[in-house]
Chains A and B, each alone.
Chain A
Amino acid sequence: MAATEHPVLQTHDLTIRFGGHVAVDCVSCAFRAGTLTAIVGPNGAGKTTYFNLISGQLKASSGRVALFGEDITSLGPAQRTRRGVGRAFQLTNLFPRLTVLENVRLAVQARAGAGKNLFSMWRSHVELIEQAEHYLHRVALSDKRAVTAAALSHGDQRKLEVAVLLALEPAVFMLDEPTAGMSVDEVPVVLELIQHIKQQEEKTILLVEHKMDVVRSLADRIVVLHQGELVADGAPEEVIASPIVQEAYLGRGAGREARDA
């Protein structure tokens, strides 16, 4: 079977240097379908930079990224998205003055490849609007469809960010701290969604997350980055228990965990 020959996503010795600083240092890692991998590490460990290298916002100094066994290192972010690398951002990254529905509809339209259509009315592409409403419904934002993204609360903006990612229907979901800054009662909605994506759609999910309880409940596997290097990789209990992680990360992470709980 072709699907098992190659992992969905793979990085080979992926490295990026900013001047003398090596932000991501020779990270090789493979991600298989149907698994949720949590990427953890202290602030400045290179997690978001690693994400940017995979989704194409940054160009690697050396190393390769492969999607379904195919080298995508030379492609830009737009081309990677169209091949199935979907990304939600850590800092909310929306179209502020467009409506909530339009934010999602633009993602649906991008996937449908309808953007090159110059002479039809966007309002007459009813199927795109209906699909967008469907994704909004999934994150429980349907009643806010007509307000602008800028007018949403921070938690709702995070949910909209997830809806946009769902609308791209990617093969690889990359979530960068999806629950950051959310109020306690909003967090379960997003976690349930992630759980849902994982169970029903056999998708590959990469999750950067600080909250260890979230990581424990969702992750099939944990990858630990420290100063740009991959220092641990394995099943959650194993990784959390390993001395190197206790020392390098969880010593500091324990305080954070207590605060988040």
Chain B
Amino acid sequence: MIRSLLSADPPGSRLLAASLLAVLVGLALAPFVFPGARSLDVAARVAVFVLLAASYDLLLGYTGIVSFAHTMFFGIGGYGIGIAAASWGSGWGSLAAGSLAALACSAAIAFAVGLLSLRVRAIFFAMITLAVAAFFQILASQMSWLTGGEDGLNFNLPSVLSPGTKLVAAPVLGIDLNGRVLSYYLVFGCALALFLVLLRIVNSPFGRVLLAIRENEFRAEALGYRTVVYRTVANCLGALAATCAGLLYALWLRYTGPATTLSFDIMIDILLMVVIGGMGTMYGAVLGATIFVLAESYLRDLLRLASDATHGVPLLPALLHPDRWLLWLGVLFVVCVYYFPHGIVGRLRARRP
């Protein structure tokens, strides 16, 4: 059962298995173990970014496709929900229609970009995706009548998902089971299910062809695999999964805007998550995204503590000032990439006896 869920691709290291279990249990029990709006928000972001990073790993780590348009598909998901909810109201029907439209739109763009440009060399493909993503970003900010421009879109969700709705009158384990908790479990459940689907895809016969293409495209073609077809399908699957992540993120935030979905900063973040976690492992995306989101959310607090603790020591409090969190995040990544060239998962698997 577990073997089948994990597609016969076990973590392969006890420490890795323990870390993954910790992330899974932590996310599954987040509303109860880490009460409070902020920690629930962090948990939801971890779930969304695990899915987003995993879908990017399908392209980068498994197929060897370098795409910079991944946030565009993430954004299409966000705007799909956002525009539908803002213009057709907050019913389930409009959310479903918006989601389907977003998925169809992503698939069509990924197919077109893939078919037109996956024949060219990797660097040109990366440039083309960069151009398409930039174009889409400009489009989203210029068409403000539809997208809300730079301000983005705030929208309402079906009332069962709103914080005011109590599902059970009395608190359960000290927690009000309100619409917010339900939303969280919707996000978490979908992200987990889609992650397992991606894990299955990379461990399918199709996934093995992607590995072959990454290793030696010329040879894969000579074996009888039409590599352009495989790469295009992989590109579409990655785009669809990213769109799903965007849908979930918009559902969680009840907001969609350029900064939360389309910005190039997020693209860099995803790239770092995959590289730090370990390319071509899927589990790397889980650890990479978790560490990244946690660091982004709590490094400031940690630095504040450290800064206060070293009060009176020369220079240290200034270096550890909470405003320097970005510097320390950068240091953390340089150290990670330097010491774990195959990512955290690569490192953990190498320790296996």
Contacts and interface: CB of A to CB of B under 8 A. Distances in A.
Contacts of B224: 78-79, 81-82, 110-111, 168
B208 A55 contact: no
B207 interface: yes
A122 B207 contact: yes
Contacts of B225: 78, 110, 115
A96 B215 contact: yes
Nearest to A95: B215
A97 B222 CA distance: 18
B206 A77 contact: no
A95 to B, nearest CB: 4
The interface residues of chain A, by DSSP majority, are classed as helix
A93 B4 CA distance: 33
Interface stretch (B159-167, B187-195, B197-205, B307-315): B197-205
Interface in B227-286: 227, 230
Given A116-B206, A121-B8, A87 B222 contact: yes
Interface stretch (A61-69, A101-109, A184-192, A241-249): A101-109
Interface in A63-99: 76-79, 81-82, 87, 89, 93-98
A163 B352 CA distance: 31
In the A-B complex, the 4 residue pairs with the smallest Cβ-Cβ separation, listed nearest first, are A81-B224, A95-B215, A110-B224, A110-B223
22 contacts: A76-B226, A78-B224, A79-B226, A81-B224, A82-B224, A93-B216, A93-B218, A94-B216, A94-B219, A95-B215, A95-B219, A95-B220, A102-B208, A106-B209, A106-B220, A110-B225, A117-B205, A119-B204, A122-B203, A122-B207, A168-B223, A168-B224
A76 B8 contact: no
A78 B222 CA distance: 5
Contacts of B223: 78, 81, 106-107, 110, 164, 168
B32 to A, nearest CB: 34
Nearest to B227: A78
A123 interface: yes
A168 B225 CA distance: 12
Contacts of B205: 109, 114-117, 120, 122, 125, 128
Given A81-B222, A93-B216, A93-B219, A98 B204 contact: no
A118 interface: yes
A124 interface: yes
B92 to A, nearest CB: 28
A98 B219 contact: no
A173 B196 CA distance: 41
A43 interface: no
Tier of interface size on chain B: 20 to 34
Given A77-B221, A98-B211, A119 B201 contact: yes
Nearest to A96: B215
A50 to B, nearest CB: 16
B206 A117 contact: yes
A21 B221 CA distance: 27
A93 B215 CA distance: 10
B222 A115 contact: no
Contact of A122 (B204, B226, B227, B230): B204
Contacts of A97: 215
B141 interface: no
B215 A98 contact: yes
Contacts of A110: 223-225
B212 A95 contact: yes
Interface in B1-52: 4, 7-8
A116 B223 CA distance: 14
Contacts of A55: 222
Given A78-B226, A122-B204, 18 more contacts: A78-B221, A78-B223, A79-B224, A93-B222, A94-B216, A94-B219, A106-B208, A106-B212, A109-B205, A110-B225, A114-B205, A117-B205, A120-B205, A121-B4, A121-B7, A121-B203, A121-B204, A122-B207
A217 B201 CA distance: 48
B222 A120 contact: no
A119 B206 CA distance: 8
A76 B223 CA distance: 12
B342 to A, nearest CB: 11
A164 B222 CA distance: 11
B193 to A, nearest CB: 13
Contacts of A195: none
Contacts of A94: 216, 219
A72 to B, nearest CB: 13
A93 B224 CA distance: 14
A57 B220 CA distance: 12
Contact of B8 (A78, A109, A124, A168): A124
A116 B201 CA distance: 11
A115 B206 contact: yes
